[in-house]
Structure 1
Amino acid sequence: MNRKTGRESLLITLFIVLFWTGSAQAERLLDMVDVQGVRTNQLLGYGLVVGLDGTGDKTKKGHFTSQSLVNMLREFGITLNASDPALKNVAAVSVSAELPPFVRPGQQIDVIVSSIGDASSLKGGTLLMTPLKGIDGEIYAIAQGNMVVGGASAAGAGGSKVTVNTVTVGRVPNGATVERSVPSSFNRGDEIVLTLKKPSFTNARSIVRRVNEHLGPEVAKAWDGASVIVKAPRDQGQRVTFMSVLEGLEVTPAQPPARVIFNSRTGTVVMGQNVRVLPAAVSHGSLVVTIQETNSVSQPNPLASGTSVGVTNSNVAIEEQTGSLFYVPESVSLQDIVTAINGVGASPSDLMSILQALKEAGALRAELVVI
């Protein structure tokens, strides 16, 4: 393999390399932390989608979709047996939504509708009124409306079928009306707790220093590597203005840890700029196993009694291809590491093994993470 060609192929097909400059770029405080007490809440409900074009649940006697429809019609004074309705135009669904922080009754939020039966498509359906509950069992929103399904499907008379994207999941924009707000601790007390999205003692210290430089000494203090406590005004209006100022502060984060990330399913390798390597020698080679099978017929002797039988002949050969020994020099440059590893002509799958072996030998100074 041509070394230059192999290097280009590996870099194009496999390597996603993240480069960090020597001086890290400043980030907004808003992007680095979450505010304790300011969070979303998940809602969940069970409902029915009607108006489908024969793509609903294939219901049987006692099926939960039939039971749900019978129970709903009973509320309107209509009594049916669970086996009476033909529900090919009805589907049982789960309805989920996220309740944003500080939302008030009367506001509208989007909902996601997902089939939980054997409906083949929810396209063109209408979600009937569905209460959405929180983890505490209380109803926080009511959902209803026409669905938007991004996928499409088509089937022929011979049984062939083509489906684009998912047609059993849809969205109802502004499909739920909030009925109850969630209490927040944001306006309570004299302090606000900032929680780092990626805990780091260095980042916590940098945030404290930046806040105190801008708003005065002793305004912020680090509780640990994941939390920073900031003194805030009690007045709600002043507190909102105070948080607006905090969110806009720019903080220089610490450089990320040295890591090499393997995605075993896609063969992707991501290396950070802080990866270091010590001198090492890498031997790269491979075995090629060839198995060739041919079928033949064994004929009996004309004078002997017997029958013809099929025989499989196998030819197995093992060939060890010529390997190469390549020296990996000590380096603090990610480009040098990439160039050195590509020098052995490693394939994407071989690269993971080489990096793991370097780690075991103590030559790779980085954490290996497999996802």
Structure 2
Amino acid sequence: MLEKSGNWFRKTAILAVCVLPLFSAPASAERIKDLASIQGVRNNQLIGYGLVVGLDNTGDQTTQTPFTTQAIGNMLSQMGLNLTQEQTQKLQLKNVAGVMVTANLPPFAKPGQPVDVTVSSMGNAKSLRGGTLLMTQLKGGDGQVYAIAQGNVLVGGAGASSGGSKVTVNHLSAGRIPAGATVERAVPTAVGQGGAIYYELNSADFGTAQRIVDAINRSVAPGTAQAIDGRRIAVRAPDDSDARVAFLGRVENLEVTPVPGLARVIVNPRTGSVVMNQKVTLEPCAVAHGNLSVVVDGGQPQFGKSADIQVKQDNGSLMNVKAGASLADVVKALNALGANPMDLLAILQAMKAAGALRADLEII
């Protein structure tokens, strides 16, 4: 019997399940800055095309990446070295790679401030290890240049090849340059309009919005904050910039206990991961899927009888899980039987469709 069971586990896919404890725990207080952000205070994405040079014969095959040879010709012409179109097309440089350079411009960034950049190969370069990014303009969505990037690319991977064999550790076609870009243009960031600033909740919730309003009004003065809807909160702030900064620093550190969120189950069929919060519950139900059968008996708690969850497989294996009618017990029982991720996903969907799964089912 043990040998047969072992064969079953070897044949089935390994199910990686992450189950959060489903007991009623008091919600902990969080700072307002962790629950909401100030409207208008945000990052801005920057992007640019550049060249990485100094590679050890691991660059682009220029015959297959015409944009790299074109970029090399344009760069040389700006430095006073004019090549004809025919000469440019004949370039066979294996130590150069065309790359896309991306960065996040933080709020309130000023000219001269350094920011990190990410460099990613655009062509067929084998590795960017040891390369140097040449001066690259980073533009925003409006087409304006906001930063200039240049520096040595740091690649976390390593690789080697010889005699037709190749070994690669981690990723070699992307890297980072810490503080590799310098901000050249500031983005105007207006904090509030007409004497008020607006907080936007990370997740819309009327109850949490009201609790934040109450906390601000208790700490500052009645009428200081007002909920616009389930996401936005208007807060009256001082007009003086010095006083406004101190005021916002005080408000964002106020602690609020958010209203517990919806019951939710997150399933990733690619990895077989299942994550649920403490609000997930099950109603009595019976599900048959392939050679698996799941029966959830709600029990009679008022008479001291706990719920009984049974998971049965055609080969005679039977597991009884006597506990509360929770999804965690069903997932554990299915995992013990070796159910693969697709079996679990199908069973959860069937439970949701039948109204037995009291939670939102989200597939990522």
TM-score for both structures, normalised by structure 2: 0.82
- For residue 240 of structure 1, report the CA deviation from its aligned partner: 0.7
Relative to structure 1, the CA distance from residue 61 to residue 228 in structure 2 (aligned partners, 3 Å threshold; closer, same or farther) is closer
The reply to whether residue 370 of structure 1 matches residue 354 of structure 2 is: no
Q: Corresponding residue for 2:236?
A: 231
Aligned pairs for 1:170-249 (under 5 A) are 170-186=175-191, 188-249=193-254
**Contact 2:323–2:329 (8 Å) recurs in 1:** no
Q: Which runs of 5+ in 2 are unaligned?
A: 293-312
Aligned pairs for 1:154-169 (under 5 A) are 154-156=160-162, 158-169=163-174
Q: Corresponding residue for 1:259?
A: 264
| 2: CA distance, partners of 1:279 / 1:253 | 31
| 2: CA distance, partners of 1:326 / 1:258 | 27
Structure with bigger gyration radius: 1
| 2: CA distance, partners of 1:216 / 1:87 | 68
SS at structure 2 position matched to 1:31:
helix
Q: 1:353 aligns with which of 331, 343, 346?
A: 346
Q: 2:19 aligns with which of 17, 20, 44?
A: 17
Q: Corresponding residue for 2:102?
A: 96
Return the letter of the residue paired with 2:355. Answer: G
Q: 1:72 aligns with which of 52, 55, 75?
A: 75
**Contact 1:49–1:126 (8 Å) recurs in 2:** yes
- For residue 14 of structure 1, report the CA deviation from its aligned partner: 3.6
Aligned-residue Cα RMSD (Å) equals 3.0
| 2: CA distance, partners of 1:233 / 1:163 | 57
Q: Corresponding residue for 2:48?
A: 45
The reply to whether residue 83 of structure 1 matches residue 89 of structure 2 is: yes
- For residue 285 of structure 1, report the CA deviation from its aligned partner: 6.3
The reply to whether residue 115 of structure 1 matches residue 107 of structure 2 is: no
Relative to structure 1, the CA distance from residue 212 to residue 153 in structure 2 (aligned partners, 3 Å threshold; closer, same or farther) is same
Q: Which runs of 5+ in 1 are unaligned?
A: 288-319
| 2: CA distance, partners of 1:345 / 1:173 | 48
- For residue 84 of structure 1, report the CA deviation from its aligned partner: 4.1
- For residue 248 of structure 1, report the CA deviation from its aligned partner: 0.8
| 2: CA distance, partners of 1:328 / 1:227 | 45
Return the letter of the residue paired with 2:347. Answer: I
SS at structure 2 position matched to 1:205:
helix
1:160-181 Cα offsets, whole Å, 9 max, x none, are 1111111111111111111110
Relative to structure 1, the CA distance from residue 259 to residue 265 in structure 2 (aligned partners, 3 Å threshold; closer, same or farther) is same
| 2: CA distance, partners of 1:370 / 1:225 | 25
Relative to structure 1, the CA distance from residue 258 to residue 328 in structure 2 (aligned partners, 3 Å threshold; closer, same or farther) is farther
**Contact 1:44–1:95 (8 Å) recurs in 2:** yes
**Contact 1:130–1:142 (8 Å) recurs in 2:** yes
Return the letter of the residue paired with 1:17. Answer: V
SS at structure 1 position matched to 2:104:
strand
Q: Corresponding residue for 1:279?
A: 284
- For residue 138 of structure 1, report the CA deviation from its aligned partner: 0.7
SS at structure 2 position matched to 1:199:
coil
**Contact 2:15–2:338 (8 Å) recurs in 1:** no
Relative to structure 1, the CA distance from residue 79 to residue 282 in structure 2 (aligned partners, 3 Å threshold; closer, same or farther) is closer
| 2: CA distance, partners of 1:218 / 1:166 | 54
| 2: CA distance, partners of 1:275 / 1:337 | 12
SS at structure 2 position matched to 1:208:
helix
**Contact 1:141–1:177 (8 Å) recurs in 2:** yes
- For residue 16 of structure 1, report the CA deviation from its aligned partner: 1.5
SS at structure 2 position matched to 1:127:
strand
1:119-140 Cα offsets, whole Å, 9 max, x none, are 1111111111111111111111
| 2: CA distance, partners of 1:170 / 1:56 | 14
**Contact 2:282–2:327 (8 Å) recurs in 1:** no
| 1: CA distance, partners of 2:241 / 2:335 | 62
TM-score for both structures, normalised by structure 1: 0.81
- For residue 370 of structure 1, report the CA deviation from its aligned partner: 1.3
| 2: CA distance, partners of 1:284 / 1:147 | 52
| 1: CA distance, partners of 2:350 / 2:241 | 58
Aligned residues: 332
SS at structure 1 position matched to 2:209:
helix
Q: 1:143 aligns with which of 146, 149, 174?
A: 149
Moved more, 46-55 or 179-188: 179-188
Return the letter of the residue paired with 1:25. Answer: S
SS at structure 2 position matched to 1:93:
strand
- For residue 332 of structure 1, report the CA deviation from its aligned partner: 6.4
Relative to structure 1, the CA distance from residue 215 to residue 198 in structure 2 (aligned partners, 3 Å threshold; closer, same or farther) is same
Relative to structure 1, the CA distance from residue 164 to residue 14 in structure 2 (aligned partners, 3 Å threshold; closer, same or farther) is closer
**Contact 2:147–2:183 (8 Å) recurs in 1:** yes
Q: Corresponding residue for 1:36?
A: 39
- For residue 359 of structure 1, report the CA deviation from its aligned partner: 2.3
Relative to structure 1, the CA distance from residue 120 to residue 322 in structure 2 (aligned partners, 3 Å threshold; closer, same or farther) is closer
Return the letter of the residue paired with 1:370. Answer: I
SS at structure 2 position matched to 1:248:
coil
Identity, in percent, stands at 52
Return the letter of the residue paired with 2:231. Answer: A
| 1: CA distance, partners of 2:47 / 2:77 | 23
